[in-house]
């Protein structure tokens, strides 16, 4: 009798499992599609996908919620798998019925200015909806992260992995949108006028956060209305003697350079440190005190131009999405002298800024541009107001270098050592391989960084070759700083198989090794570094990289967890 009952239960669970499997695979695919549609702002298609997702997710939840399934979860061998399937079904169904509907109701267009102004009252209303959507996504994200993947059948494990990646991406969007909705009213002068520095990072001359701080503009915000009031350049700020005070850890790596030259404030990768130094330099030279610093680069402009369309710069060719990076980082140095370059950069920034604020733009394209730029660390912001900085936390927007890791993170940060504008011609790749577990609870990591130069062998202007500190005007010298995971260590470093480390130190509880890498036109140099994590059982790791004119090629090779 008992045996017959078990056979009946087993058959029923098998049948329901077959149903649940089909519904879950469908739901996981629809959830990924819906995440992409929400991020892309395609509301019409998103509503149709949501209806299909709710149907499939509800069916999967029902198929895994009856008494037979409950009994099956308590049997040996199959019980863990059935429990995992139930957890996934509940998480997807909650996402479909709580997070996505709330997110679709929220008017993300409120985050984009219209006719030079943001509607702050509407933004505060949207803030409540976005906060609810972010909470729901984070709850689902936590549930999916807790689902064990051991011994799941391959197709479901693959679907779960893909779904987790999609929800992680969605969580970044909802978190950023929630932060923006909460912060934009005070940032844009809801409680009184604000002033900010808009700084252009120039990756043709690399710095750790992206590029040398070149042109800057002063932005005035009052009651949601934004205007550009003044422009200048780092060259006009000149040098500071005596130097501004530099944090001792940064000083041990770069001496007083960040406190002397405005173009060197971001030799270290921590954007708040660089922004505070630059703010003080502008204050001392101009008397203007600002409430924060916003940094962008020409790649951000290329993304925004896809939303605004081509923009005419007085006295110059129009800026077009597909060619603006080349125009600003290559053509300008070929065709203009130093004074004309500064004027062109300032005029270009003003034209893009004006178009973004005053044109009728495609909201989906704008949000996509900002989302991509923040994900790539190309838009960075620092507020002098501590309560606003706390809201931002350690998000990518802040450009912070945390003193603790949730996942072991290796930093690879670049600084030009040529005194030139050869960064436009450099191509970078990085691979990080998770190695053996150590007896003390740490883990070995193996990093390989390749630097390739596409520079020509002749024909570049003096503006590009600059000071030629490498000895050859066409040889690019780059200081590559490798940061260990928090609490970890840098063990060895070799350049093309030979010891190449020229400096070391610590920063934000991370050991730092600095290698001088010189690359001739057409050549490639390879840097291999062995590192240790802090105590961790994680089988994966992450890379944090200096954004460059051309995106990095990256790979992370994971390994089983140490506690498996």
* Tens-place pLDDT, residues 264-304: 999 999 999 999 999 999 999 999 999 999 999 999 999 98
Separation of alpha carbons 281 and 170, rounded Å: 38
In a domain, 48, yes or no: yes
pLDDT for position 243: 97
Nearest CA among 193, 339, 388, 271 for reference residue 279: 271
Q: Which of 108-112, 199-203, 423-427 has the highest mean pLDDT?
A: 423-427
pLDDT tops 70 at residue 6: no
Q: Are residues 481 and 359 in the same domain?
A: no
In a domain, 520, yes or no: yes
Q: Are residues 350 and 411 in the same domain?
A: no
| Local structure of 215: helix, strand or coil | strand
- The arrangement of strands across the sheet holding 212-222 comes to 225-233, 212-222, 194-202, 292-296, 380-383
Q: Region 305-332: what's the mean pLDDT? A: 89
Q: Are residues 384 and 430 in the same domain?
A: no
Strand ranges, E, within 408-523: 409-416, 426-437, 443-453, 476-483, 489-495, 498-499, 501-507, 510-519
Please state at what angle helix 78-94 crosses helix 154-187, rounded to 10 degrees.
30
pLDDT for position 18: 47
**Boundary residue ending a domain (138, 169, 187):** 187
> In the chain, what percentage of residues exceed pLDDT 90?
47
pLDDT in tens, 88-102: 778 888 888 877 887
Q: Are residues 163 and 208 in the same domain?
A: no
Q: Are residues 7 and 118 in the same domain?
A: yes
Q: Are residues 481 and 524 in the same domain?
A: yes
pLDDT tops 60 at residue 3: no
In a domain, 269, yes or no: yes
Q: Are residues 446 and 553 in the same domain?
A: yes
pLDDT in tens, 227-270: 888 989 899 999 999 999 999 989 999 999 999 999 999 999 99
Q: Are residues 366 and 433 in the same domain?
A: no
pLDDT for position 67: 62
Q: Region 28-56: what's the mean pLDDT? A: 79
pLDDT tops 70 at residue 39: no
Q: Are residues 44 and 170 in the same domain?
A: yes
In a domain, 397, yes or no: no
Segments forming the whole domain that contains residue 51: 2-187
pLDDT for position 80: 58
* CA 286 to each of CA 218, 239, 260, 283, 451: distance values in angstroms, whole numbers, following the listed order: 11, 14, 17, 5, 39
In a domain, 395, yes or no: no
Whether 73 contacts 104, CB under 8 Å: no
Chain mean position to CA 210? 12
When the pLDDT of each residue in the chain is averaged and rounded to a whole number, the result is 85
Domain count, the chain: 3
pLDDT for position 81: 63
Lowest mean pLDDT among 45-59, 369-383, 437-451, 469-483: 45-59
Structure tokens of 314?
């007085």
In a domain, 398, yes or no: no
In a domain, 396, yes or no: no
| Local structure of 251: helix, strand or coil | helix
Indicate which CATH number applies to the domain containing 485: 2.60.40
Separation of alpha carbons 189 and 116, rounded Å: 14
In a domain, 457, yes or no: yes
Q: Are residues 416 and 312 in the same domain?
A: no
Comparison of pLDDT for 358 and 385, the residue scoring more: 385
Separation of alpha carbons 79 and 69, rounded Å: 9
What global pTM score does this model have? Answer: 0.83
Residues 6+ apart with CB under 8 A from 308: 352, 355, 356, 359, 361
Comparison of pLDDT for 30 and 81, the residue scoring more: 30
pLDDT for position 484: 97
Q: Region 132-159: what's the mean pLDDT? A: 77
Confidence band for 109, pLDDT divided at 50, 70 and 90: low
pLDDT for position 62: 79
pLDDT for position 156: 65
pLDDT tops 50 at residue 15: no
Please state at what angle helix 2-40 crosses helix 154-187, rounded to 10 degrees.
40
pLDDT tops 80 at residue 359: no
**Boundary residue ending a domain (390, 412, 442):** 390
pLDDT for position 459: 93
Q: Are residues 338 and 455 in the same domain?
A: no
| Coarse DSSP helix, strand, coil percentages of the chain, rounded to the nearest 5 percent | 45, 20, 30
Q: Are residues 288 and 329 in the same domain?
A: yes
**Boundary residue ending a domain (390, 416, 443):** 390
């Amino acid at each position: 009798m008992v045996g017959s009952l078990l056979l009946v239960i087993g058959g029923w669970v098998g049948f329901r499992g077959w149903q649940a499997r089909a519904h879950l695979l469908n739901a996981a695919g629809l959830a990924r599609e819906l995440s992409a549609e929400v991020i892309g702002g395609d509301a019409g298609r998103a509503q149709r996908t949501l209806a299909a997702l709710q149907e499939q997710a509800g069916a999967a939840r029902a198929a895994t919620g009856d008494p037979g399934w409950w009994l099956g979860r308590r049997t040996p061998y199959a019980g863990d798998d059935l429990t995992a399937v139930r957890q996934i079904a509940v998480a997807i169904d909650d996402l479909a019925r709580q997070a996505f509907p709330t997110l679709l109701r929220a008017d993300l267009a409120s985050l984009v200015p219209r006719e030079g102004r943001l509607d702050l009252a509407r933004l505060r209303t949207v803030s409540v909806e976005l906060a609810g959507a972010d909470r729901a996504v984070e709850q689902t994200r936590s549930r999916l992260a807790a689902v064990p993947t051991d011994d799941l059948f391959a197709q479901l494990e693959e679907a779960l992995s893909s779904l987790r990646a999609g929800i992680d991406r969605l969580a970044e969007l909802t978190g950023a949108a929630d932060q923006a909705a909460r912060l934009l009213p005070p940032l844009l002068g809801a409680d009184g006028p604000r002033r900010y520095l808009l700084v252009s990072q120039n990756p043709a001359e690399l710095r750790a956060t992206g590029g040398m701080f070149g042109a800057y503009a002063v932005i005035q915000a009052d009651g949601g209305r934004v205007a550009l009031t003044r422009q200048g350049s780092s060259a006009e700020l000149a040098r500071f003697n005596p130097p501004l005070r530099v944090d001792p850890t940064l000083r041990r790596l770069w001496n007083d350079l960040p406190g002397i030259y405005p173009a060197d404030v971001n030799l270290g990768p921590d954007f708040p440190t660089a922004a505070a130094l630059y703010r003080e330099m502008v204050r001392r030279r101009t008397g203007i005190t600002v409430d924060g610093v916003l940094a962008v680069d020409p790649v951000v402009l290329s993304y925004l131009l896809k939303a605004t369309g081509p923009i005419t710069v007085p006295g110059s060719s129009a800026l077009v999405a597909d060619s603006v990076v080349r125009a600003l980082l290559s053509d300008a140095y070929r065709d203009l002298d130093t004074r004309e370059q500064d004027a062109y950069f300032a005029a270009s920034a003003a034209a893009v800024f004006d178009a973004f604020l005053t044109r009728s733009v495609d909201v989906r394209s704008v949000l996509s541009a900002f989302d991509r730029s923040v994900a790539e660390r190309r838009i960075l912001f620092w507020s002098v107001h501590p309560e606003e900085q706390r809201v931002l936390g350690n998000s990518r927007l802040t450009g912070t270098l945390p003193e603790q890791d949730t996942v072991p993170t290796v930093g690879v940060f670049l600084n030009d050592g040529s005194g030139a504008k050869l960064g436009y011609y450099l191509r970078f790749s990085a691979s990080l391989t998770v190695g053996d577990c150590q007896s003390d609870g740490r883990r070995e990591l193996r990093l390989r960084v390749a630097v390739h130069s596409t520079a020509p062998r002749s024909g570049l202007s003096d503006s590009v070759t600059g000071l030629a500190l490498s000895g050859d005007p066409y040889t690019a010298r780059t200081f590559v700083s490798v940061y260990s995971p928090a609490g970890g260590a840098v063990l060895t470093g070799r350049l093309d198989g030979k010891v190449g480390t020229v400096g070391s130190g610590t920063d934000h509880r991370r050991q730092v090794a600095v290698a001088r890498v010189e690359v001739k036109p057409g050549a490639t140099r390879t840097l291999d570094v062995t590192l240790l994590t802090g105590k961790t059982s994680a089988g994966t790791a992450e890379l944090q990289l200096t954004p460059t004119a051309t995106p990095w090629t990256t790979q992370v090779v994971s390994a089983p967890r140490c506690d498996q």
